[in-house]
Structure 1
Amino acid sequence: MARYTGAVCRQCRREGQKLFLKGDRCYTDKCAMERRPFAPGMHNQGRAKKLSEYGMQLREKQKARRYYGVLESQFRKYYEMAAARKGVTGDNLLSILETRLDNVIYRLGFAMSRPEARQLVRHGHFTINGHRVDIPSYLVKPGEVIALKETSRSKDKFKASLEANGSRPAPKWLDFDQNNLVAKVVALPAREDVDLPIEEHLIVELYSK
């Protein structure tokens, strides 16, 4: 499966804001955005360049892709799915991205970052409706039940992550039973359920050209 293999901190610096791709490190003074808050490259430490309309649309698309860890071809596929659905295309796009299994695992607090959640899914730690699913891009649907495998529940990694993320509640479209480590998808996420600073209308404008 194709994925980005470069230095993830470069992505935050390129977008000019924290994308929280390295979990706890992003909240410390070791974060690359704290130490070098400018775009990668030897000529990017000067005055910020003014972006064109196209530039702003492109940066917003790139930022959304990097938040969710999605490559260009798959992101384009999600946009086409969103455009084919009823409703507002931008809202549909964010809803689709939020229902990726790796994002759901992150939202439930099993991982400190989306890249870490992706790895946990790939290692087969989770089931959907009782069946193991190891595809991070799997799109969950209302009514499906997501659970941590019985053989994984005693691992210190999950106990530590759930404790560290205890103050971050699961979104209302997920009914999470933290005692039994089981969550049910009760609805598709709405726009107000997405707390990321993404201006999705710019992405729609970019792809509509």
Structure 2
Amino acid sequence: MTSSTSSATGRHRRPQSERRATTRHALINATLRCMKEVGLAKTSITEICSQAGFSRGALLHHFPHKNDLLVASYIEWLEGKLASLQQRIHSTATVREEVVAWRTQMQETLPMTQEFYWALRNDDDLRARFNAALLTHSIGADVSAYLPNTSIDNTATPMLTRYVIACFIRGLCFQELFVRDQSIPDQAFDHFVEILSAFVERLPAAHE
């Protein structure tokens, strides 16, 4: 028979599930700090344990493979960024307002995204674990389900429309790193918004 009260101290112990969740959260937070401070390539198990204040054995008990911890950490980071995007986009936002929100968000998250995507490109195991996680986690579902209804939702396939937006903005963020004329990305952005707005605005008439 187990008890949540320690006979030695008379104090109640937290349930094991709660202690486990707390430890996992601490390890994930330490991993994200390492990724931000020293970069993903230098985020070692030793560095994570030092940041979190746990032993290597404790880390491997919760995350038997380092890539499991990296995936869990990046997904939690993505959840936070999705929540931030939700706050940036208000209901009934115009096409331009929503796309501006996407661009602002992705410009802020580019450094972390760039590092993780590069790691996915070069680590088959990490990519396989990440893709497997996306199949079972809500973060891999249609982002439209988590955002307010906007003009984009007037399209027949809001999910695909937002997928195109994300792909374009991500590419634009990379282009901004090595463009000769800094005004070109802004011009390309405005041109994209004009094209997308025209596409969205013609849809009601097309369905009549």
- TM-score, normalising length: structure 2: 0.27
Higher-Rg structure is 2
**Quick check: which one's helix share is greater?**
2
- TM-score, normalising length: structure 1: 0.27
**Quick check: which one's strand share is greater?**
1
